[in-house]
Amino acid sequence: MYSKILILRFSPAVAQKPVVCRLTRDFDLEFNILNAAILPRKEGVMVMELSGSKKNFREGVKFLKSQGITVQNASQEVRRIPSKCTHCGACTAVCPTGALHIRRPEMEVVFDQKKCSVCELCVPACPPRAMEVRPLKQHVFE
């Protein structure tokens, strides 16, 4: 069994199509959606684990690309720059996994990288730009 965590980015038009369920039906792949931000008339981002045979995985990724979806390997990490952080807590409001939370009574923002799903929602939410995405080994599937 072949398995990878992928980041999918797609246009508003693609968000209306059932592309993920077709991965299961047409390519015999299993998926686990780790995070998704899909809003009407906006670009969508989804982080998912995709599993199956290597051949079916390649065919499934090829299908996603044919639908206009950018598919990236999630070999990147979100990092907090402590010297820039003002502990405002804005990032904690958008973090779906609880990787960013406020420690009480100190009122300090804490980042638990092990809980991070690399959804990147904290990056634009952070006013002082203390959150950044750092590629470990960037790979866009073609």
pLDDT tens over the chain, length 142 residues: 888 888 898 888 887 788 888 999 999 999 999 888 887 778 888 888 899 999 999 999 999 999 999 998 877 788 999 999 999 999 999 998 899 999 999 999 999 988 887 888 899 999 999 999 887 654 445 4
Query: Contact, 45 vs 8, CB < 8 A?
Result: yes
Same domain flag for 112 and 94: yes
Domain boundaries, position 93: 77-135
Residues 34 and 90 in one domain: no
> In terms of domains, do 69 and 7 share one?
yes
The number of residues in the chain equals 142
> Is residue 142 one of the residues assigned to a domain?
no
CA separation for the pair 31, 8 (Å, rounded): 13
Structural domains of the chain, count: 2
Residue finishing a domain among 22, 42, 73: 73
Residues 33 and 85 in one domain: no
Position 10 in a domain? yes
pTM of structure: 0.57
